[in-house]
Amino acid sequence: MSANPNLPLVGIVMGSRSDWETMQHAAQKLELLGVPHEVRVVSAHRTPDALFDYAAQAAQRGLRAIIAGAGGAAHLPGMLAAKTAVPVLGVPVQSKALNGMDSLLSIVQMPAGVPVATFAIGNAGASNAALFAAAMLSAEHPQIAAALEAFRQRQTEEVASNDDPRK
Ligand code: RP5
């Protein structure tokens, strides 16, 4: 099935505009792989009703994964997962006060029954959440599978062709 560029398959949400510096890495990867996506600020604490609406409508709007980034008391991914069966991929944003350990623990320690797939703190986590979402979509979307395979091949070749760290 080829993805309709006008219908997002992945939602990237974040608790604050200040999270964009991190979450842009997820958007860049989805862009690179041709995965239709949308980006929104949805705060568990400042706009809780918008969070509930987003989760309630996610499946019927065609979203197949939600990448949710938040920092500090990072309740956004867990609350989304509480309100939708669409898989939630949590990205702990690196907080200033505690370097993201607070974000990581807030997101990863979900009670049994309400899963959030939790990624690394910061930019690597945002990138990998996008790659993971693309992998989830690959079985249904051969073009995304091909783009992901090509990305991995390029990455391998770049590392292999620059294997002397002194140069
Ligand atoms: C969280 O609080 C956000 O996800 C953000 O990482 C953190 C700080 O938000 P701002 O005060 O920068 O808006 O809700």
Q: Which domains does the chain have, with CATH numbers?
A: 10-160 (3.40.50.1970)
Residue with the nearest Cα to atom 3 of ligand 1? Answer: 15
H-type helices in the chain, by residue range? Answer: 20-33, 48-58, 76-83, 101-108, 123-138, 142-160
Q: Which residues contact 87 (CB under 8 A, 6 or more apart)?
A: 64, 65, 66, 117, 136
Q: What is the pLDDT along the chain (167 residues), one digit of tens a residue?
A: 777 878 999 999 999 999 999 999 999 999 999 999 999 999 999 999 999 999 999 999 999 999 999 999 999 999 999 999 999 999 999 999 999 999 999 999 999 999 999 999 999 999 999 999 999 999 999 999 999 999 999 999 999 999 999 99
- Among 114, 111, 90, 93, CA closest to 102: 93
pLDDT of res. 47: 98
Q: Tokens representing 34?
A: 């041709």
- The CA 18 to ligand 1 mean position distance, Å, reads 6
What SS3 state is found at 71? Answer: strand
156: Cβ contacts below 8 Å, ≥ 6 apart: none
58 HSE (CA, 13 A, CB side) = 29
Q: Which atom of ligand 1 is closest in space to residue 45's alpha carbon? A: 14
Please indicate whether residue 18, judged by its CB atom, sits closer than 6 Å to ligand 1. Answer: yes
Q: What is the pLDDT of residue 4?
A: 81
C-beta 70 within 6 A of ligand 1 = yes
What's the token pair of residue 61? 């709007």
At residue 68, φ and ψ (nearest 5 deg) are -120, 120
Q: What pLDDT was estimated at residue 5?
A: 75
Q: Rounded to whole angstroms, how far apart are CA atoms 131 and 11? A: 14
Closest CA to 14 of 75, 68, 93: 68
Ligand 1 mean position, distance from CA 158 (Å): 35
Contact 88, 80 (CB under 8 A): yes
